[in-house]
Amino acid sequence: MPELNSTSSDRQKLKELIINADRNQANAFLDSLAVQSSYMEVIHVILEPVLLEIGNMWVKEELSLAQGYVSGKIAEDVFEKTIQAGEFKKERANSKGAVVMGNIEDDYHELGKRMVITFLRAAGWDVYDLGTDVMAEEFVARAIELNAPIIGVSAMMYSTANNVRKVRDEIDAKGLRGKILLATGGAVFNLRPELVHEVGADGTAKSAINSPQLFDRLLGKIK
């Protein structure tokens, strides 16, 4: 497969298109680069470094939710094209493994979780989305069944964040502390970071784009 002859100006151009929330132009631009090599090469050489930069800007509140959302949609679009081009199967040998994701009991706000799933899939995780209003027992049972080392639990509001503690308790009750790690996130955890500790989570990411780094870090902690 030919290597992509990419320059920093290509990355800068993609960054500007994302900042302008221009999904169509960004896709057209990435398509034109993929013709030179492959979508997988585009992901590794262009998209991933730009998303990392976008993620850092988002954490520093230099970008809006809309711009983060558009970057997720672009990643999703490229991911789909990678599958359609038959390139993705070759990469699955390098899968990082299974993770279980869902909105905690009583939480129905899926936007953040879906963005996280997009970025995790693009980073090579096999993500199993359990949906909304998921009970702690189901999170842990599915993680055991799928041999998933990490459970990702989303909660948007104060009213539901405390339910994440039930997943912690269930993991501990099954004697799986340190073997299955608990990642949590959502708007409320950005507002009150101390909640992450209070609910017993092992980590959080300040933005969806940064979630692959969190999951990599957690994977390295598994006993």
Partner 1 sequence: MNSMERVLMAMKGGKIDRRPVTLILSLYGARLTSCPLKEYYTNPRAYLEGQLAVIEQCRPDIVFTPFVLTAEGEAFGSEVVYIDRNPPNLKKPAITQAGSISALPEPDIDSHPRLLYIREATRLLAAGCQGKRPVAATLLSPMDLPSLIMGIEGWLDTILFDPENTRLMLDKTVKYFIEWGNTLLADGATFLVIPSVFTNPNILTRKMVKEIVIPVLAEAFQEIKGPLVFHHGSNPIAKFMEIYSSLPNVAGFFLDNRDSFAEARKTIGQGKVLFGNIDGPNLWRLKPETIRTECRKLLEERKDDDHFIIATSATDVAFDTPVENIVAMVETVEEFG
| Chain contacts with partner 1 (rule: CB under 8 A) | 19-21, 23, 61, 64-67, 69-70, 106-111, 114, 133, 157-160, 187, 191-192
Residue 157 tokens read as 């509001």
From the CB of 20, what's the least distance to partner 1, in Å? Answer: 8
Closest CA to 181 of 211, 146, 220, 213: 220
- Please state, in angstroms and rounded to a whole number, the distance separating the CA atoms of residues 154 and 21: 25
Closest CA to 80 of 88, 69, 91, 92: 88
Q: Which is nearer to partner 1, 152 or 186 (CB)?
A: 186
- Please state, in angstroms and rounded to a whole number, the distance separating the CA atoms of residues 21 and 38: 24
Q: Starting at the edge strand that comes first in sequence, how are the strands of the sheet with 150-154 ordered?
A: 125-129, 97-103, 150-154, 181-185
From the CB of 67, what's the least distance to partner 1, in Å? Answer: 6
Q: Which is nearer to partner 1, 11 or 23 (CB)?
A: 23
Q: Which is nearer to partner 1, 82 or 103 (CB)?
A: 103
Q: Which is nearer to partner 1, 66 or 93 (CB)?
A: 66
From the CB of 100, what's the least distance to partner 1, in Å? Answer: 21
From the CB of 90, what's the least distance to partner 1, in Å? Answer: 31
